[in-house]
């Protein structure tokens, strides 16, 4: 159940205004239906009505019958869905549904008719045409023109070189580490707050991941903490451009140079993100991307690695294809993998790339919208936006202030009741069973904080104005409600 049941909205007419207030606070719908004997609908009362009563000096002990609205829209429960939907608007957000006797039996509201997903892909460009081309020509595996084209065009977009398209963003990381022969006995520094794929890829190589805290301003690797954790075994640093914001690349590259370390950027979440005017993914010795269905551009499943160095690139090409010699077919010089991207994935990717500027722009606009409505509530710390970076805003994520009037999880529940999916920030890696025994000198206060209070909002590039209005209204109602009852 994602919206409250009808019984959570019903209030007997003998109740007082304060009972209505308590019910509305609980159901988070901003409304209750006043009933008489036999559940007959007598009136409605909204949070706005209650606010007006309070401002007029009406006491909370007044009977709801005295203040309820008696003119309202109600429909027979047998009304077709499309008719009900056509009656819902931002003025009429809830419609009671009544039986033949006038008894209320259900209700309709925007969130019951529709759920705004946290993310969905937009595939209405040339995706289908290019995919059909693969099927018609039979080029459905990893041979075929789209793979090369996708590699070339995405590398051009990012201003990077030596691209290797692979089957997902996790193997992109593993392939990058393997190409540099990272192995057991080596240590790789990785942030505590990231998706598990970052650390898993390190573990696949046999190397030891060393978890390091993030900083409070960018939610990416803390440079001070990296230095604290460098040992004689450290071989690489893996900055993750979390939620689209770039890591401190100059400082990280300087540390890497000083200690002779590799840098592998995990840019899975940062398509379109920039550091000092240049796209992320062009700084480290290697950089990886993901094109999973929820990413800024998608290939369904898919990933890419960029290399700075031709030798590592050539090794990665061999490793991607079972370690098979390029000169002598079916001769294996190395233990490789099958990490190839299919022509069909790349075909979708080429179509997505044609619209990448439009998608990145849409993410920025969405972020500006959220910045505004979240700032109005006064309850959030907005996502990182350093002057030297352009946030790619893959998934708009803010931090609920510790002083906020409700908890992060209650907010998520209430948003869902209003038909809006949200997502908690990642869990700190160091707290989860597979990762908790690795060595570290970090105390993780920042990752603990962002993880506990972080919340992501729907960030699809094709989110509608109506959905945005609903999100704004829901946030407003949730926090206003809370002020009244606090
Ligand atoms: C930071 C980060 N790294 C790596 C990955 C792995 O990518 P994939 O899901 O394509 O394997 C993801 C997300 O999916 C991610 O968010």
Quick check: 73 pLDDT over 90? yes
**140 Cα: distance to centroid of ligand 1 (angstroms):** 24
Q: Output the pLDDT for position 112.
A: 78
Q: What atom in ligand 1 is closest to the CA of residue 168?
A: 10
Residue 137 sits in the same domain as residue 26 = no
Q: What atom in ligand 1 is closest to the CA of residue 294?
A: 14
Quick check: 485 pLDDT over 50? no
Residue 152 sits in the same domain as residue 95 = no
Per-residue pLDDT band for 484 (boundaries 50, 70, 90) equals very low
Residue 173 sits in the same domain as residue 309 = yes
- Does residue 158 form part of some domain? yes
**308 Cα: distance to centroid of ligand 1 (angstroms):** 21
Per-residue pLDDT band for 148 (boundaries 50, 70, 90) equals very high
**265 Cα: distance to centroid of ligand 1 (angstroms):** 12
- Does residue 1 form part of some domain? no
**268 Cα: distance to centroid of ligand 1 (angstroms):** 5
Residue 138 sits in the same domain as residue 14 = no
Residue 17 sits in the same domain as residue 161 = no
Residue 93 sits in the same domain as residue 235 = no
- Does residue 118 form part of some domain? no
CATH code at position 216? 3.40.640.10
Whether 182 and 315 have beta carbons less than 8 Å apart is answered as: no
Pocket test for ligand 1, best of 200, 290, 392, 459 (most atoms within 8 A of CB): 290
Residue 82 sits in the same domain as residue 165 = no
Pocket test for ligand 1, best of 118, 173, 195, 271 (most atoms within 8 A of CB): 195
- Does residue 119 form part of some domain? no
Quick check: 482 pLDDT over 90? no
**377 Cα: distance to centroid of ligand 1 (angstroms):** 32
Q: What atom in ligand 1 is closest to the CA of residue 197?
A: 4
Residue 189 sits in the same domain as residue 314 = yes
Q: What atom in ligand 1 is closest to the CA of residue 290?
A: 10
- Does residue 270 form part of some domain? yes
**170 Cα: distance to centroid of ligand 1 (angstroms):** 6
**288 Cα: distance to centroid of ligand 1 (angstroms):** 9
CATH code at position 433? 3.90.1150.10
Pocket test for ligand 1, best of 167, 292, 423 (most atoms within 8 A of CB): 292
- Does residue 120 form part of some domain? no
Per-residue pLDDT band for 1 (boundaries 50, 70, 90) equals very low
Q: In terms of residue numbers, what domain contains 90?
A: 6-113
Q: CA 385, 388, 390, 394: dihedral to nearest 10 degrees? A: -50
Residue 166 sits in the same domain as residue 284 = yes
Per-residue pLDDT band for 481 (boundaries 50, 70, 90) equals low
Mean pLDDT of the 442-464 span: 97
CA-closest residue to ligand 1 atom 7: 169
Q: What atom in ligand 1 is closest to the CA of residue 242?
A: 1
- Does residue 122 form part of some domain? no
**253 Cα: distance to centroid of ligand 1 (angstroms):** 23
Pocket test for ligand 1, best of 168, 214, 268 (most atoms within 8 A of CB): 268
CATH code at position 87? 3.10.580.10
| Domain closes at, from 46, 79, 113 | 113
Residue 284 sits in the same domain as residue 320 = yes
| Domain closes at, from 319, 353, 387 | 353
Quick check: 81 pLDDT over 80? no
What is the full DSSP assignment across 24-37? HHHH-SSEEEEEEG
Say how many domains are in the chain: 3
Q: Output the pLDDT for position 2.
A: 53
Q: Output the pLDDT for position 77.
A: 87
**47 Cα: distance to centroid of ligand 1 (angstroms):** 42
321-374: pLDDT as tens digits: 999 998 999 999 999 999 999 999 999 999 999 999 999 999 999 999 999 999
236-294: pLDDT as tens digits: 999 999 999 999 999 999 999 999 999 999 999 999 999 999 999 999 999 999 999 99
Residue 28 sits in the same domain as residue 144 = no
Residue 300 sits in the same domain as residue 416 = no
| Domain closes at, from 69, 84, 113 | 113
**173 Cα: distance to centroid of ligand 1 (angstroms):** 9
Ligand 1 binding pocket, CB closer than 6 Å: 168-170, 194-195, 197-198, 240, 266, 268-269, 290, 292, 303
Q: What atom in ligand 1 is closest to the CA of residue 173?
A: 4
- Does residue 121 form part of some domain? no
Mean pLDDT of the 149-167 span: 98
**336 Cα: distance to centroid of ligand 1 (angstroms):** 21
Query: pTM for the complete prediction?
Result: 0.83
Token pair for residue 90?
């931002």
200-246: pLDDT as tens digits: 999 999 999 999 999 999 999 999 999 999 999 999 999 999 999 99
373-424: pLDDT as tens digits: 999 999 999 999 999 999 999 999 999 999 999 999 999 999 987 889 999 9
Q: What atom in ligand 1 is closest to the CA of residue 302?
A: 10
């Amino acid at each position: 159940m994602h919206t409250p049941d009808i019984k959570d909205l019903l209030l007997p007419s003998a109740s007082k205004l304060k009972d209505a207030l308590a019910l509305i606070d609980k159901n988070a719908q901003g409304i209750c239906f006043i009933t008489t004997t036999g559940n007959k609908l007598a009136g409605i009362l909204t949070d706005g009505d209650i606010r007006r009563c309070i401002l007029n000096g009406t006491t909370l002990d007044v009977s709801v019958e005295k203040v309820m609205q008696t003119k309202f829209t109600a429909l027979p429960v047998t009304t077709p869905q499309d008719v009900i939907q056509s009656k819902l608007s931002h003025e009429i957000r809830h419609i009671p549904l009544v039986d033949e006797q006038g008894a209320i039996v259900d209700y309709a509201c925007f969130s019951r008719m529709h759920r705004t997903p946290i993310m969905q892909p937009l595939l209405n460009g040339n995706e289908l045409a290019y995919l059909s081309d693969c099927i018609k020509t039979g080029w459905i595996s990893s041979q075929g023109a789209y793979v090369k084209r996708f590699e070339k065009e995405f590398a051009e977009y990012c201003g990077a070189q030596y691209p290797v398209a692979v089957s997902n963003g996790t193997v992109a990381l593993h392939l990058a580490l393997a190409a540099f022969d990272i192995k057991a006995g080596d240590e790789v520094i990785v942030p505590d707050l990231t998706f598990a794929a970052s650390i898993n890829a390190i573990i696949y190589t046999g190397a030891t991941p060393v978890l390091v805290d993030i900083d409070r301003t960018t939610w990416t690797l803390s440079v001070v903490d990296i230095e604290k954790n460098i040992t004689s075994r450290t071989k690489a640093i893996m900055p993750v451009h979390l939620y689209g914001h770039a890591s401190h690349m100059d400082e990280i590259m300087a540390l890497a140079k000083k200690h002779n370390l590799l840098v592998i950027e995990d840019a899975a979440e940062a398509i379109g993100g920039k550091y000092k005017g240049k796209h992320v993914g062009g700084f480290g010795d290697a950089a990886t991307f993901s094109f999973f269905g929820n990413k800024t551009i998608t290939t369904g499943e898919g990933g890419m690695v960029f290399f700075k160095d031709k030798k590592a690139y050539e090794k990665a090409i061999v490793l991607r294809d079972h370690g098979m010699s390029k000169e002598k077919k079916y001769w294996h010089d190395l233990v490789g993998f099958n990490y190839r991207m299919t022509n069909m994935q790349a075909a979708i990717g080429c179509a997505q790339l044609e619209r990448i500027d439009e998608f990145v722009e849409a993410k920025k606009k969405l972020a500006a919208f959220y910045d505004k409505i979240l700032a109005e509530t006064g309850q959030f710390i907005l996502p990182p936006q350093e002057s030297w970076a352009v946030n790619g805003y893959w998934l708009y994520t803010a931090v609920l202030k510790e002083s906020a009037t409700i908890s992060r999880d209650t907010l998520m529940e209430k948003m869902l009741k209003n038909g809006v999916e949200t997502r908690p920030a990642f869990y700190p890696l160091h707290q989860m069973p597979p990762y908790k025994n690795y060595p570290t000198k970090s105390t993780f206060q920042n990752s603990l904080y962002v993880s506990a209070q972080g919340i992501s909002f729907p960030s699809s590039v094709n989110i509608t104005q109506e959905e945005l209005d609903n999100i704004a209204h829901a946030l407003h109602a949730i926090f206003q409600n809370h002020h009244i009852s606090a």
